[in-house]
Structure 1
Amino acid sequence: MKTTIIAEIGINHNGSVDIAKRLIESAKKAGADVCKFQTHMPDYQMLRSTKSAEYVKEDIYSLLNSVKLSQKDHVDLKKFCDDMEIEFLSTPFSKEAANLLNDIGVQRFKIGSGELTKYDLLDYVFQLNKPVILSSGMSSFEIVQNSIQYLSKYSNEVSLLHCTSLYPPDANQVNLKMIPKYKKLFP
């Protein structure tokens, strides 16, 4: 089994393709195999009145709207990754985002932990018939277990990503003991 190094770019490009390209170059130089983005289409994934976390000054809708990438941006960044010989990967937060990613030819999808209970989105992504990475991040063990059980009706290749959604986490918060537990329960 080969270890895959995923560079989490997320929304750290601040909506700038130039910054995103610099982050891709840095990830490639550091030896990453994959650059992982987030594909947000706020109008399809939330209400304008959705509240933000306390540490975020603006509302989450405005924040995500300010950092979202257009379809053209996605096409450009996917091509840039292809040219750099690094995989472009992104997390869709709506069916429309999944369509955009599928249309540009991503090899697989990554589902964020906050979406593990959004069965309509999971069904939609899995019906696109590509490999999927599921993140455990903010989810309880029970949610992860229920999601994997729910998705067992599909034949997609599924990878489970143990993630700690604390930035930065203390060493005692990463709970690496979950990895062998996941490996045993979800072979």
Structure 2
Amino acid sequence: MSIHQDANDTTDLDGRTQPSPVRIDGIPVGGGAPAYVIGEIGLNHNGDVELAKRLIDVAADAGAQAVKFQKRTPEISTPAHMRDVPRQTPWGEMSYLEYRYRVEFDREQYIEIGDHATLRGLSWFASPWDEPSVDFLEDLGVSAHKVASASVTDSGLLTRLAATGKPIILSTGMSTLEQIDRAVEILRGSPLVILHATSTYPLPAEEANLRMIDSLAARYPGVPIGYSGHETGLQISLAAVALGATMVERHITLDRAMWGSDHAASLEPHGFSNLVRDIRVIETAMGDGVKRIFPGELAPLAKLRRVDA
């Protein structure tokens, strides 16, 4: 299957198609640009605006380009079989549906955290889990939309997202290639970034399957391919960058021991800062693939080489 962002694709030294850049608030993703790093706040704010702001600060201080949240209309997006399931929370026992309402930000709260992200120099957007949530986010003027892995097969949601004309970031966890193909077809014409992901929390190394980055790049030439990670350390995300990931998304938290389903698979501030630092080191170290004698080699060359060519 082939989908192209525009007519300006380039090729690398191996003749492979390089992804045309998608721009989010003017920052390119793909096309040889540095990896675009997203601090995934998700629900790790636990419904607390001040905690959300502190997590935005973590992402900004680390040098990320964006933060991402999740937006739901709980009555629509909560599966029927889950609504009445009891949930133990810091606010006492409640049904799963009540919990979903408890941690959901309203319009004024999103304006407050969105303004904070903007003031810190970050783009912000969210994963809408239902069609009214797309309209909610559009009204707030988000710069992009993220499709959660759970929503890959939601054709109504994808159609509504495609109609926005905004950049779309498509996660591919818990999905078959055929399901991804159908999602990509619906999103055809949208500026698109595809993220390889495995939706196991936390992610064990044996399920990371990082070679899918190359497989997705071959299947969707011209589309930037990134990585959304749910592992506990840095190694797998860093390897993804070395394998060509143009975007990296990781959950962030103030403390992995906090209450909530995603905290254990998140990076604490120091870890997230190290991730961004090490991504930039790897990008510098990748070079251009052209063999040359570097300036630092000249002294050892003069000292050690006995026979000239």
Same-fold status (TM-score > 0.5):
yes
Taking the TM superposition and a 5 Å limit, the aligned residue runs for 1:159-174 are: 159-174=193-208
Structure 1: gaps of 5 or more residues: none
Aligned partners of 1:117 and 1:147 also within 8 Å: yes
- TM-superposed deviation, 1:142: 2.2
- Percent identity at matched positions? 30
For the aligned residue pairs, the C-alpha RMSD in angstroms reads: 2.2
Taking the TM superposition and a 5 Å limit, the aligned residue runs for 1:90-169 are: 90-152=126-188, 155-169=189-203
Q: 1:84 is aligned with what amino acid?
A: R
Q: Structure 1 residues 86, 56: CA separation in 2 closer, same or farther (over 3 Å shift)?
A: same
- TM-superposed deviation, 1:52: 8.5
Aligned partners of 1:117 and 1:143 also within 8 Å: yes
Measure the CA separation in 2 of the matches of 1:149 and 1:118: 13
| SS of the residue 1:25 aligns to | helix
Measure the CA separation in 2 of the matches of 1:53 and 1:59: 5
Give the aligned partner of residue 230 of structure 2. Answer: none
Give the aligned partner of residue 109 of structure 2. Answer: 73
- TM-superposed deviation, 1:117: 1.0
Please state which structure has a larger fraction of its residues in strand: 2
| SS of the residue 1:5 aligns to | strand
Q: Structure 1 residues 52, 137: CA separation in 2 closer, same or farther (over 3 Å shift)?
A: farther
Instruction: Tell which deviates more after alignment, 135-144 or 40-49.
Output: 40-49
Measure the CA separation in 2 of the matches of 1:70 and 1:54: 24
Measure the CA separation in 2 of the matches of 1:53 and 1:167: 21
State TM-score, norm by structure 1: 0.90
| SS of the residue 2:69 aligns to | strand
Runs (4 or more) in structure 1 with deviation over 3 Å come to 46-49, 51-60
1:31 is aligned, of 63, 68, 72, to: 63
1:22 is aligned, of 54, 76, 83, to: 54
Taking CA–CA contacts closer than 8 Å with sequence separation of 6 or more, which of the two structures ends up with the larger relative contact order? 2
- TM-superposed deviation, 1:60: 3.3
Structure 2: gaps of 5 or more residues: 1-32, 222-309
Query: Per-residue CA shift, 1:140-180, capped at 9, x if unaligned?
Result: 2221122113332xx21010011121222111211101000
| SS of the residue 2:178 aligns to | helix
Q: Structure 1 residues 52, 141: CA separation in 2 closer, same or farther (over 3 Å shift)?
A: farther
Instruction: Tell which deviates more after alignment, 140-149 or 23-32.
Output: 140-149
Query: Per-residue CA shift, 1:17-62, capped at 9, x if unaligned?
Result: 0000001101111221111100122023236653589998864322
Higher Rg? 2
Measure the CA separation in 2 of the matches of 1:179 and 1:147: 17
Measure the CA separation in 2 of the matches of 1:90 and 1:159: 15
Q: 1:117 is aligned with what amino acid?
A: T
- TM-superposed deviation, 1:65: 1.2
Aligned length: 185
Q: Structure 1 residues 140, 34: CA separation in 2 closer, same or farther (over 3 Å shift)?
A: same
Give the aligned partner of residue 210 of structure 2. Answer: 176
